[in-house]
Structure 1
């Protein structure tokens, strides 16, 4: 939540209050910020659903099952986020009023549509990162998680101001979306490195992956419940 608010404040500082900016641009930033909040909530819900099962088995010291659940949670998070990416990406192209459900046509200008697609890609990265961070919390590595979040914030801010320094008043919404994407992709690299590391108790094991349809349904039900709860909270 703090990162989201800080991100929006930085966006307004960089381009929202430029001397050549319009009221419409300010509205676009606010509108896109709301979409991004909802997508981030969905990403965290998708990433965190399977982790609940992992944490339960981990506390029971059933490490074999916990590792299998971790791999399954990661796979389902990727598949689910890609599904959302396709649906939301194609949905916005539908004619009005259906396309407006995903992104109002009035915000397609001023790089709004491109920004929308970039935050959809970022959404996939955030979902994968959410699984990793959730697993680290399950291991009670709160300090490591805090460091990761701080690094993410610093990286995002640094890239945004780098664009501002280089492009000055020519910086736009695309630059802000790219800063967000790059920062999250860097964290995704850390995620993949740690998830495939043999030193990680939850390292991905696709070869010996065994799961039931019941387990998949349980994770998807948890994800659905979390998505509804978090999205409802963000919307209002």
Structure 2
């Protein structure tokens, strides 16, 4: 894994407008939204359904784009990129962790982790070495040849995190990473994300409904009707 270079501001959203078309009507999500996140920061985002949390993650991952405003991550101006450039940028710089793991059931843990590497110019030996490294890192190296159905929910999420890490991204986007787990497994996953943040310097933006999970973040942002609010996390 590469050593992180800390920047004063790694992610910058400046005066972002975003809306969607629904049933012939334009529904605004954000108007003049601005946000700055430093490199190596762990940020949790909370808010009710429909507040724009998923839209934030999609824009940070280059899956969606603002209607107006500037979105910069590192030295990349995402608001200026075309679809092809965004796809290539995302493959190199972003890892995504999903609530429901999104593992292919017919593939082993190692094969699921390998998927992002298949389009890279790596030989089979190099891919195997990377897979072994990340599976050991997330604590399931001994489950490499197990199918998802042979793994617990917490183990499946570890496979999902390993897959997100396999390309050594700068940014991890986590969409309710503990939402389908029991408390013990959720705690283990959050401790792992905190390790990736503190020890490997990964910048993490996590959407969550779980106040317990926010304890592992450097700060928590509350999104309500497209606006960030300041408030305390409930104990």
TM superposition score normalised by structure 1: 0.25
More strand by share: 2
Alignment TM-score, normalising by the size of structure 2: 0.25
Greater C-alpha Rg: 1
Instruction: Name the structure, 1 or 2, with higher relative contact order (CA <8 Å, separation 6+).
Output: 1
Q: Would you tell me which structure has more helix in proportion to its own residues?
A: 1
